[in-house]
Amino acid sequence: MADTITTASATAKFVRVSPMKARRVLALIRNKSVAEALAILKYAPQGASKDVAKVVASAAANAENNFGLDPRTLVIAECYANEGPTMRRFQPRAQGRAFQIRKRTSHITVVVESKEGAK
């Protein structure tokens, strides 16, 4: 049990973005260093990139503050978006009909790992 902890994670729950759209952004940063991932997300045109960047920054801060890991050696080991609850709304249509609108949410998780050659 003398192993040192080399991973840290952060999760954002109930983020108001579709899981499919969040996964598209997460694919851009998988297996990249934290600094490189944040640079990619800063200029990514997708709306979900802002939410993903916050989770990546939070995971890096957790690694540094909770476990004393060097932020320059952090690499994104895992990142995934699970489906959260769906809010259902109704759009009035002609002749008394109503169409359902699904406002999807995501639970975004990022796990960072310390790797020595990742500077």
pLDDT in tens, 7-19: 999 999 999 999 9
> Pairing between strand 87-92 and 98-103?
antiparallel
Residue 69, classified by CB atoms within 10 Å of its CB into exposed (0-12), middle (13-18) or buried (19+), is buried
Please state the φ and ψ torsions of residue 50, each to the nearest 5 degrees: -65, -45
Query: For residue 119, what pLDDT is reported?
Result: 54
Model pTM score: 0.90
In sequence order, the 6+-apart residues with CB closer than 8 A to the CB of 2 are: none
What is the pLDDT confidence band of residue 1, given thresholds at 50, 70 and 90?
very low
- For residue 69, the number of C-alpha atoms closer than 13 Å in the C-beta half-sphere is 25
Mean pLDDT for 62-88 is 95
Architecture of domain 7-114: Alpha-Beta Complex (3.90)
Average model confidence (pLDDT) for the chain? 94
**Per-domain boundaries in the chain:** 7-114
